[in-house]
Amino acid sequence: MRRGILTIALTFSFLIFFNSVALGKTPTPAPTPGVIKVDYVLPYPGILPDHVLYPVKMLRDRILDFFIREPIKKTEFLILMADKRLGAGKTLIDYGKISLGEITVSKGEKYLERAIGKVSEAQRLGKNVSGVLDKLEKSTKKHLEVLEEVLEKAPESAKPGLMNALENAQKGYQKVRELKGTK
């Protein structure tokens, strides 16, 4: 009996020891040169524009947009809407609905432009906008990253619209950098 328990104990000890040694030597992948990943996660887009209930979602978003009056809260809301549109557009393009994805991405960039305008307004009013400017900077960087990624995979027919969205995102990023005071 003792010998059986000792054998089982030694077997488990042996397995645990070698398992931890094997796990300790897991290789880490080297970062790919030239690709800069932004540490910013896009929110889940929810219902996509090709869904039957999408107009209800849009109505809800427009009502929320109308009732938010404080510039910083409005900016945060507009950033959220821009990020959701970008995610939805990317998903649509991945699913092969290129023209709808292109339109959705374009609308996302318009939300981003509005967010930049609102944060500029809040800054003129003397509000503390450093936190929302940081979030806006990360968001615009993420938009640039995702748009470049989507542009590589997109068919030629969608590239002009996506290039326009990418240019708008680049202009937005420059405006945010100017608002932050770093060029």
State pLDDT tens for residues 94-146: 999 999 999 999 999 999 999 999 999 999 999 999 999 999 999 999 999 99
Measured distance CA(113)–CA(48) in Å, rounded: 22
Tell me phi and psi for residue 147, to 5 degrees: -65, -40
Measured distance CA(129)–CA(122) in Å, rounded: 7
- Per-residue pLDDT, averaged over 150-155, amounts to 89
Measured distance CA(154)–CA(177) in Å, rounded: 29
Measured distance CA(40)–CA(111) in Å, rounded: 18
Say yes or no to pLDDT of 8 above 90: no
Which residues fall within 8 angstroms of residue 48, CB to CB, at 6 or more apart? 54, 88, 91, 92
| Residue 154 pLDDT level (bands cut at 50, 70, 90) | confident
Indicate the average pLDDT of the chain.
86
CB distance 175 to 114 below 8 Å: no
Fold of 54-180: Ferritin (1.20.1260)
| Residue 30 pLDDT level (bands cut at 50, 70, 90) | very low
